Amino acid sequence: MPSRLPLLVSIALILGVALVVTSADPMACAHAAEVAPLPQHLADTGLFLPGSTTVRTENVAFSPQYPLWSDGAGKRRWLSIPPGSFIDATRPDAWEFPRGTRLWKEFAYGTRKVETRFIERLDDGSWRFAAYVWNEEQTDAVLAPFAGVASVLVANAPGGRYVIPAEADCRSCHEGAAVPVLGASALQLSPDRDPLAPHAGPADIAGIDLRGLVAREWLRNLPHEMLEQPPRIAASSPVERAALGYLHANCGHCHNAGDAPVPVGLVLAQETALSAASTDRVLRSMLSVASRFRSRAAPGATQIAVPGHADASVLAVRMRSRNPFVQMPPLGTRIADAESLALIEQWIDHALQSPTEKAR
């Protein structure tokens, strides 16, 4: 039977409704449900008090300890769950967010707000993604087209312009992980924050970390030991801890041990429940492992990570490049993250050890 997905998408576009497809299976697509259309204005998503750009108090600010690099943009984030509901943390690395969960992430350069991204969990358990673009007056943000916006003029952004991602770009990153919410997890909101984490925000935003969420009764079933001994990456040095944290946040949503969307064995996502075993798995997946990637600019780089030789490590070569056919991560950034690249190179050159060496 031919797929009816193109027909469903066409109907959705004609009717102006959001179509949520939770499976690529043709039979599942045939039963995709219509949902209420996304609000045209950010103010109507529930972020602000009526008639203002003041964030509602019930929308709780949070700050992941390992933030995603976004070309130097400053970011603020908020989380909201329906009254009486809670996040189930039985699986510490794959929280179950209740239906009706909403999250927002604001991108700004200086005082100029550019974009606010919005994620919402619907009644059927699926998630939808949207981006809202701020006007010059900073009084309103309107829903971006499904295909994104190729260029928004922003004086302090790289090259003076900013790209609003397409909805498909959002899904390509968020849906590679165990849960589409990437910045709120046991590791990211651990009270034991990494002081070397690049670009990390302050730890005390609204007191929302694991303990703060539990105190609000927003988070339940978190293993008790994670409150007594907050999650942290098992590492042989502070530099390694920060390097692995950066790779977890910026690369782990695609490179993970689950149903990863990339056909390679590289694992960069950390699992808090496994602790040292998780770090061991990450290191074994990259150390002296041959890479299929070859670069004319760095012909000597044939392995993912070579201790003592960042210049011969594909990991660093691809992080440094912004050639769209080479760069990693492949989306969401047009300039290399110099601070984090220096951290990764320092780690590879001076602190990276194989699991065998660590055991000696």
d(CA 283, CA 294) in angstroms, rounded, equals 21
* Residues contacting residue 9 through CB under 8 Å, at least 6 positions apart: 19
How many Cβ atoms sit within 10 Å of the Cβ of residue 219? 23
pLDDT of 207: 58
Round to the nearest angstrom and report the end-to-end CA distance of the chain. Answer: 59
Tens place of pLDDT per residue across the chain (360 aa): 333 333 333 333 323 333 343 344 443 343 345 789 999 999 999 999 999 999 999 999 999 999 999 999 999 999 999 999 999 999 999 999 999 999 999 999 999 999 999 999 999 999 999 999 999 999 999 999 999 999 999 999 999 999 999 999 898 888 878 888 999 999 999 999 999 999 997 765 545 899 999 999 999 999 999 999 999 999 999 999 999 999 999 999 999 988 766 778 899 999 998 889 999 999 999 998 999 888 777 777 889 999 999 999 999 999 999 888 889 988 888 899 999 999 999 999 999 986 666 555
| String of DSSP letters for 315-357 | HHHHHH---TTT-SS-SS-SS--HHHHHHHHHIIIII---HHH
pLDDT of 205: 56
Q: Could you tell me the two tokens for 220?
A: 């339940």
Q: What sign results for the dihedral spanned by CA atoms 137, 138, 143, 148?
A: positive
pLDDT of 32: 44
Antiparallel, parallel or unpaired: β 149-153 and 141-143: unpaired
pLDDT of 2: 35
pLDDT of 355: 61
